[in-house]
Amino acid sequence: MEAVARHTYLDFVPRQRFQPALALSPDAGTVAYSGNAGGHFGLWTMPAAGGPAQRVAELPGRAVRQIAWTPDGKDLVFTADLEGDEQYRIYRAAADGAEPVEIGGGPDCQRILAAAPFDATGRYLAYAANDRDPAVQDLLVRDLDEGTERRISPPDGVVFEPTGISPDGRWLLAAGSTSNTDVAAYLVDLTDPASEARCVTARHGQGIFAPRGWAPDSGGFYLLTNVWSEFTAAAFQPLDRDGLEVVARYDWDVELLEAAGDTLAWAVNEAGRSVLHLRRDGVTVIHPGVPPGVITALALAPDGGGAVLLIDAATRPTELAAVDLAGGFRYLTDARPPALRVIDPVEPESITYPASGGREVHALLYRPGGPGPHPVVLSIHGGPEGQERPGYLRSGLYQHLLNQGIAVFAPNIAGSTGYGIAHQKLIYRDWGGIDLDDLDHAVRHLRTRPGLDAGRIAAMGGSYGGFAALSCVARLPYPWAACVSICGPTNLVTLAKGAPPTWKTLVRTVLGDPDTDAEFLLRRSPVTHAGAITAPLFVLQGARDPRVPRSESDQLVSRLRERGVQVRYDVFPDEGHGFTNRDNELKAYGEIARFLTDHLRACGA
């Protein structure tokens, strides 16, 4: 049998990565996006018909997160944070690349632009900020001509995030959340200076009522909701009557609902893959040209005649692409690395495996070419309310491991999104419980799969996935070959106490109360079971991480080193929760690749 050609990790690294942020100019001729071709995530533009990219702004140490055009198409506004601290500031830059100017200024805080932040005239800008009180995220409407602001405060425990101003300028639409599964729609009458935010979906009960775009006549708005089933559907809420109107409903989640002119576009998450739907003149079609993958961002042309999107696939990194209503599709970028031009990348196999209580867990299994049995990396997604989907993950790490003869098994355990609200809520206040049981069943299943070496399994994850990976090696009785934790929580009590101030209600709902549930949370914490960890461990941490502070990693590493356990600990002083600096990212994933390859090969020697 012909030997498989081996490549270095860098051979699999995309030429650039993108933040999930897109905006089309008012004339639909130019697309703006956030890409890291220059080393950091800067603001770039390129012709929507294809052509060379132009860097509009790249602020030292800052990453561009959200983008919007001014209604006249001359300028762009964007948010950016410093070294991953998630303290976003708002900037305005001319599309021709003039130096950006900060809007508003003020103290460090979380400033969140509305999805469509301007009124039709471009005078008013809508955003949210927790500048008044770190634990409260207010709505703000800024008069850019006068430099004044109107502030609307949320009800207790509710976190506001603005959606947009109605085309007639009267209403500000916003989401008000207490958790990822409790989201309501609110309206503010901008013609009444005394108007407070009014919840307009409370009549439908509790659940997901996540507002999206306005109807062109301002007579109502579109939203995603689970009011009819376990899955989110697309709906329309008229302002002149109570009932919700179904737009699109499936036995999968609807995502990325966008409205422009008389066109609607949305993606359906079918077992992790995105299927793009378009509706115009009352007729809905599945767009035939979009290749299999995951649509991570979508922007319709203002007249609804076309769209741009970011699409990620297991066999091709995230790219910017354009689609038209006739079914046409074309890539606008080419981020493919050298290795993908000379080898056939691996598509994952979609499988299910049995778990406790008669449940089935969906997972993706990536098998290397060549003869087995192959060692396995058990890769656990973050969130926990996230989903493992068939993308070009961790800047090519999966495909590199596969090229080295290492399989990847990525399950969507309890808590994952995409499989109904009941599956998502299973993990609420049960971290390290039902999720760990699902991971135990994952290992049992791997032991039954031909061609895999159950004696050589490593656990890996980031954020919540890091917590889960650490829980595996601390609490499941298997001979783990290695473990990698990227910004992973280790102590649920200190995690809950140190969470961002606006997350207090979310933390109590999803994780638990650090005061009343401290004993339970500590029992479920990897640091409590550190004495059982014997597997070689690699911990990576951003020093500026606001979600999982460095102290989470410090306390576990300290405890393990006192016992003489082999621990590698890499701290990145200029990173937060994940990587925004390209050099840091490549160093981190390159070292993870080397660590996993060395230990999975060594334990089988």
Residues 30, 67 contacting (CB under 8 angstroms):
no
Q: Which of 334, 350, 374 finishes a domain?
A: 334
472 and 357, same domain (yes or no): yes
pLDDT digits (tens, 9 = 90+) for 400-452: 999 999 999 999 999 999 999 999 999 999 999 999 999 999 999 999 999 99
348 and 398, same domain (yes or no): yes
Residue 67 tokens read as 């983008």
Mean pLDDT, the chain, integer = 94
Would you state the pLDDT for residue 603?
60
Residue 327: pLDDT over 90: no
From the list 579, 253, 502, the residue with the least C-alpha distance to 386 is: 253
pLDDT digits (tens, 9 = 90+) for 547-569: 999 999 999 999 999 988 889 99
344 and 296, same domain (yes or no): no
Q: What are phi and psi of 528, to 5 degrees?
A: -65, -30
Strands 374-380, 407-411: pairing is: parallel
Give exposure, 131-163, as e/b (b: 16+ Cβ within 10 Å): beeeebbbbbbbebeeeeebebebeebbbbbbb
Q: What average pLDDT does this structure show over 449-472?
A: 96
318 and 348, same domain (yes or no): no
Residues 394, 370 contacting (CB under 8 angstroms):
no
Residues 208, 181 contacting (CB under 8 angstroms):
yes
Residue 33 tokens read as 């996006």
Give exposure, 386-421, as e/b (b: 16+ Cβ within 10 Å): bbbbbbbbbbbbbbbbbbbbbbbbbbbbbbbbbbbb
Residue 226: pLDDT over 90: yes
413 and 480, same domain (yes or no): yes
| 225 is a domain residue | no
* CA distances from residue 595 to 397, 482, 486 in whole angstroms, order as listed: 12, 8, 13
Residue 457: pLDDT over 60: yes
Residues 565, 534 contacting (CB under 8 angstroms):
yes
Please tell me the total number of residues recorded for the chain in this structure. Answer: 605
Would you state the pLDDT for residue 311?
97
Cβ atoms within 10 A of the Cβ of 192, count? 9
| 362 is a domain residue | yes
| 263 is a domain residue | yes
| 294 is a domain residue | yes
Domain with 390 in it: 339-487+530-602
Residues 351, 429 contacting (CB under 8 angstroms):
no
Residue 604: pLDDT over 60: no
350 and 368, same domain (yes or no): yes
| 43 is a domain residue | no
Residue 605: pLDDT over 80: no
Residue 28: pLDDT over 50: yes
How far is it, in rounded angstroms, from Cα 583 to Cα 543?
16
Would you state the pLDDT for residue 1?
31
CATH of the domain at 482: 3.40.50.1820
pLDDT digits (tens, 9 = 90+) for 125-160: 999 999 999 999 999 999 999 999 999 999 999 999
Q: Which of 334, 361, 377 finishes a domain?
A: 334
Would you state the pLDDT for residue 249?
97
Residues 296, 277 contacting (CB under 8 angstroms):
no
- Mean pLDDT check: name the lowest of 4-18, 28-42, 66-80, 293-307: 4-18
What is the pTM assigned to this prediction?
0.93
Would you state the pLDDT for residue 122?
96
458 and 361, same domain (yes or no): yes
Q: What average pLDDT does this structure show over 10-38?
A: 95
Cβ atoms within 10 A of the Cβ of 368, count? 20
Amino acid 497 reads K
| 446 is a domain residue | yes
Q: Which of 284, 310, 334 finishes a domain?
A: 334
591 and 562, same domain (yes or no): yes
* Structural domain count of the chain: 2
DSSP secondary structure letter of residue 527: G
| 299 is a domain residue | yes
Residue 4: pLDDT over 60: no
Residue 54: pLDDT over 60: yes
441 and 546, same domain (yes or no): yes
| 390 is a domain residue | yes
pLDDT bin (cut points 50, 70, 90) of residue 326 is confident
How far is it, in rounded angstroms, from Cα 203 to Cα 237?
12
H or E element at residue 189: strand 182-189
Would you state the pLDDT for residue 360?
97
Residue 2: pLDDT over 60: no
> What does the DSSP assignment read for 319-337?
EEEEEETTS-EEES-----
